[in-house]
Amino acid sequence: MDKTLTHSQIRHAVQDAYDECKNMTGGKNADYIPFLANIDPDLFGISVVLTDGTTFDVGDTGYKFGIESVSKVLTAILVMKQFGAEAVLKQIGADATGLPFNSIFAILLENDHPSTPLVNAGAIAACSMVEPKGDSWGKWEAIINNIADLCGSEAQVLDELYRSETETNFNNRAIAWLLKNYNRIYDDADMSLDLYTRQCSVGITASQLAICAGTIANGGINPVTKVNVFDRKLASKITTLIAAVGFYQNTGDWMYTSGIPAKSGVGGGVLGVYPGVMGVAAFAPPLDEAGNSVKAQAAVKAIMKKLDIGVFNGDSIAVVAD
């Protein structure tokens, strides 16, 4: 079916979703990273970026929170750019694990590859792949510049978060060395782990994440800066990865109930991609037991429901200004 959405319909859907979810309770801040436990749990923002660059922001969309696992999407794009989609499939994989994001059991079950760049194991492997090999600073430049390109503006590490993560990332250290044992780390293991920890500690706003989501939805062209950030063919690959595992062990339930591929982070961020239509980001710190923001999930679902859209609905959607 052909479906037309107007800008004001979308603006109202975003505002209504915000009003509806603002006073929701439930969930709690991540506490295994001490810095995150102390973030104001009432922060809440939603941002939507259409593929024509039109933006709708409501709430705390300028607040810089920890990007955490949403960074996995951005660095997966970088390694796809550097090596191609096929190499990422071979060297990391594109499968859901059905297990928590930091699962060691998942690596033992599939020791021939780390499953997907969107869980901790695959994200550490992705950091190990980043060119230039063996050059920690050069690799970091590539990672942070790619984040800036996708988000349309620069982002910096939150130093206190980085310290907090580095002091407590024992499980991730085990993952990095277990992958090394299976020849699935393609550079120095400790360096790859540090790059992963650093990228998780980047401060990002909901507005920036929505621009990144909009860039993926727009086939690699940043809808705000108009810069061609990555090859169009990679957009469907990255969206497939997000759809398969974006909410870890809860991904099936999420896709079934929301209708939009989305990726979460324990900083409280959610990035959703509606190919050809829009990118959406929501942020609120309290998480459910799988590490996904309770309010951000509710907000994205509310927008989808109000607009009556879903990527599997079979509708062809036109967005018009009014």
Cα–Cα distance between 131 and 126 in angstroms, integer?
10
Residue 200 makes contact with ligand GLN by CB under 6 A: yes
What is the closest distance, in whole angstroms, from the C-beta atom of residue 104 to ligand GLN in the complex? 12
Q: How far is the CB of 312 from ligand GLN (least distance, A)?
A: 25
DSSP code string of 163-193: HHHHHH-HHHHHHHHHHHHTT---S-HHHHH
How many residues line the site for ligand GLN (CB under 6 A)? 11
Q: Tell me: does residue 172 bind ligand GLN (CB under 6 A).
A: yes
C-alpha torsion 223→227→233→238, nearest 10: -60
Q: 60 by DSSP, 3-state: which?
A: coil
Q: Which of 57, 165, 187, 194 binds ligand GLN (CB under 6 A)?
A: 165
78 vs 202 by CB, closer to ligand GLN: 202
Token output for 152:
């349309």
Binding-site string for ligand GLN from residue 95 to residue 114, where x marks contact by CB under 6 A and - marks none: ------xx------------
| Residue 203 binding ligand GLN, by CB under 6 A | no
Binding-site member from 51, 61, 69, 215 for ligand GLN (CB under 6 A): 69
d(Cα 73, Cα 213) in Å, to the nearest integer? 10
Asked if residue 230 binds ligand GLN (CB under 6 A), the reply is no
* 3-class state of residue 92 by DSSP: coil
CA torsion, ordered 143, 149, 153, 155, to nearest 10 deg:
-10
Q: Please, what is the minimum distance in Å from the beta carbon of residue 169 to ligand GLN?
A: 6
Closest CB 42 distance from ligand GLN, rounded Å: 20
Let me know the angle formed at the C-alpha of 217 by 211 and 222, rounded to the nearest 5 degrees.
45
Which one, of 65, 18, 48, 47, lies nearest residue 285 by Cα? 65
Interaction mask 114-153, ligand GLN, x per CB under 6 A: ------x---------------------------------
Output 120 or 208, the one with its CB closest to ligand GLN.
120
CB-nearer residue toward ligand GLN: 247 or 274:
247
Nearest residue (beta carbon) to ligand GLN: 69
Binds ligand GLN (CB under 6 A): choice among 223, 259, 265, 279: 265
The residue (of 265 and 272) whose beta carbon lies closer to ligand GLN is: 265
**How far apart (Å, rounded) are the C-alpha atoms in residues 133 and 138?**
8
Residue 266 in contact with ligand GLN, rule: CB under 6 A: yes
Distance CA 207, CA 247 (A): 21
Q: Which of 234, 257, 292, 196 is nearest to 94 (CA)?
A: 234
Q: Which residues of this protein are in contact with ligand GLN, per CB under 6 A?
A: 68-69, 101-102, 120, 165, 172, 200, 265-266, 291
